[in-house]
Structure 1
Amino acid sequence: MAEATPIRPLPAASVETWHREADVVIAGYGIAGVCAAIEAARAGAEVLVLERTSGWGGAAALAGGFIYLGGGTPLQKALGFEDTPENMKAFMMAALGPGADEEKITDYCNGSVDHYNWLVDNGVPFKESFYGEPGWETPFDDGLMYSGGENAAPFKEVATPAPRGHVPQMTGKRTGEKGGGYMLMKPLVETAEQLGVVAEYDMRVQRLVVDETGRVVGIVAKQYGTELAIRARKGVVLATGSFAYNDEMVQQYAPRLIGRPGAAIEEHDGRAVRMAQALGADLAHMDATEVAFFGDPQLMVRGILVNGRGQRYVNEDTYPGRIGQETLLRNENQAYLIIDEAAYEEGCAATSSTPFFRFPPKWAAETVEELESDMGLPAGTLQTTVEVYNRHAENGEDPVLGKREQFVKPIGLPVAALDLRGCTAGFTLGGLRTSLDSEVLHVSGEPIPGLFAAGRCTAGVCAGGYASGTSLGDGSFYGRRAGIAAAKG
Structure 2
Amino acid sequence: MQTEWDIVVIGSGNAAMSAAIAGREQGRSVLVIEKAGPDLAGGNTAYTAGAMRFVYDGADDLVPLLEDPTDPRLPHTDFGAYPAERFAADLLGFNDGRPLSREQRTLIAESYDAVRWLASRGVKFEPIYSRQSFEKDGRHVFWGGLTLATRGEGHGLAEAERAAFAGLGGEIRYDCAAEDLIVEDGRVRGVRTSAGAIRARAVVLGCGGFEANAAMRAEFIGPGWEEAKVRGTPHNQGDGLAMAFRLGARRHGFYGGCHATPMDLFTPPYGNLDLPHLERKHYRKICYFLGVMLNADGERFVDEGRDFRNYTYAQFGRAIMEQPGHVAWQIFDASVDPLLYSEYRFHDAHFVEADTLDALIDRLDGLTDKAQARATIAAFNDAVDESVPFDPTVKDGRGTRGLALPKSNWARRIETGPFKAYPVTGGITFTYGGVEVDEDGAVLHESGTPIPGLYACGEMVGGVFFNGYPGGSGLTSGVVFGRRAGNGAARAA
TM class by shorter chain equals 0.7 to 0.9
> Which residue identity is paired with 2:36?
T
- Residues 299 and 372 in structure 2, CA contact (< 8 A), matched pair in contact too: no
User: Of the candidates 62, 65, 70, which is equivalent to residue 47 of structure 2?
Assistant: 62
- What is the CA distance between 1:195 and its match in structure 2? 1.9
User: Of the candidates 327, 332, 348, which is equivalent to residue 320 of structure 2?
Assistant: 327
- Residues 50 and 203 in structure 1, CA contact (< 8 A), matched pair in contact too: yes
> Which residue identity is paired with 2:218?
Q
- Residues 71 and 83 in structure 1, CA contact (< 8 A), matched pair in contact too: yes
Which deviates more from structure 2 when the two are superposed, residues 89-98 or residues 109-118? Answer: 89-98
Q: Which residue of 2 aligns with 1:294?
A: 263
- What is the CA distance between 1:323 and its match in structure 2? 2.3
Deviations 1:223-251, CA, capped at 9 Å, x for gaps: 2xxxx222222x11001112122233223
- What is the CA distance between 1:388 and its match in structure 2? 4.5
Residue 482 (str. 1) matches residue 485 (str. 2): yes
Deviations 1:143-166, CA, capped at 9 Å, x for gaps: x997xxxx5xxxxxxxxxx42253
- What is the CA distance between 1:264 and its match in structure 2? 1.8
Cα distance in structure 1, aligned partners of 2:420 and 2:297: 14
Q: Which residue of 1 aligns with 2:464?
A: 461
User: Of the candidates 234, 239, 246, which is equivalent to residue 271 of structure 1?
Assistant: 239
SS in 1 for 2:116: helix
Over the aligned positions, Cα root-mean-square deviation in angstroms equals 3.4
TM-score by length of 1: 0.77
Q: 1:206 to 1:363 in 2, by over 3 A?
A: same
> Which residue identity is paired with 1:484?
N
Q: Which residue of 1 aligns with 2:369?
A: 377
Equivalence map 1:236-255=2 (5 Å): 236-255=203-222
Residue 219 (str. 1) matches residue 219 (str. 2): no
- What is the CA distance between 1:480 and its match in structure 2? 0.4
- What is the CA distance between 1:347 and its match in structure 2? 1.2
Unaligned 5+ runs, structure 2: 65-73, 135-139, 265-283, 389-397
Equivalence map 1:80-479=2 (5 Å): 80-95=79-94, 99=98, 102-128=101-127, 130-131=129-130, 162-164=144-146, 166-170=148-152, 180-212=153-185, 214-223=186-195, 228-233=196-201, 235-255=202-222, 256-283=224-251, 284-294=253-263, 300-317=288-305, 318-319=309-310, 320-329=313-322, 333-340=326-333, 342-343=334-335, 346-347=336-337, 352-356=342-346, 358-361=349-352, 375-377=367-369, 382-383=374-375, 386-396=378-388, 397-399=398-400, 400-404=405-409, 407-412=410-415, 418=421, 420=423, 422=425, 424-459=427-462, 461-479=464-482
> Which residue identity is paired with 2:92?
M
Cα distance in structure 1, aligned partners of 2:445 and 2:100: 17
- What is the CA distance between 1:350 and its match in structure 2? 5.0
SS in 2 for 1:127: strand
Q: 1:387 to 1:128 in 2, by over 3 A?
A: closer
Cα distance in structure 2, aligned partners of 1:336 and 1:329: 14
Paired-residue identity, %: 25
Q: Which residue of 2 aligns with 1:159?
A: none
User: Of the candidates 17, 33, 41, which is equivalent to residue 34 of structure 1?
Assistant: 17
Deviations 1:184-238, CA, capped at 9 Å, x for gaps: 12232222222222222221111111222x2212211112xxxx222222x1100
Cα distance in structure 1, aligned partners of 2:357 and 2:210: 47
Q: 1:104 to 1:332 in 2, by over 3 A?
A: farther
User: Of the candidates 11, 14, 24, which is equivalent to residue 7 of structure 2?
Assistant: 24
Q: 1:134 to 1:302 in 2, by over 3 A?
A: farther
Cα distance in structure 2, aligned partners of 1:333 and 1:262: 14
Cα distance in structure 2, aligned partners of 1:63 and 1:25: 25
> Which residue identity is paired with 1:266?
P
Cα distance in structure 1, aligned partners of 2:178 and 2:361: 58
- Residues 371 and 415 in structure 1, CA contact (< 8 A), matched pair in contact too: no
> Which residue identity is paired with 2:52?
I
Q: 1:464 to 1:350 in 2, by over 3 A?
A: closer
- Residues 71 and 87 in structure 1, CA contact (< 8 A), matched pair in contact too: no
- What is the CA distance between 1:488 and its match in structure 2? 1.1
SS in 2 for 1:220: strand
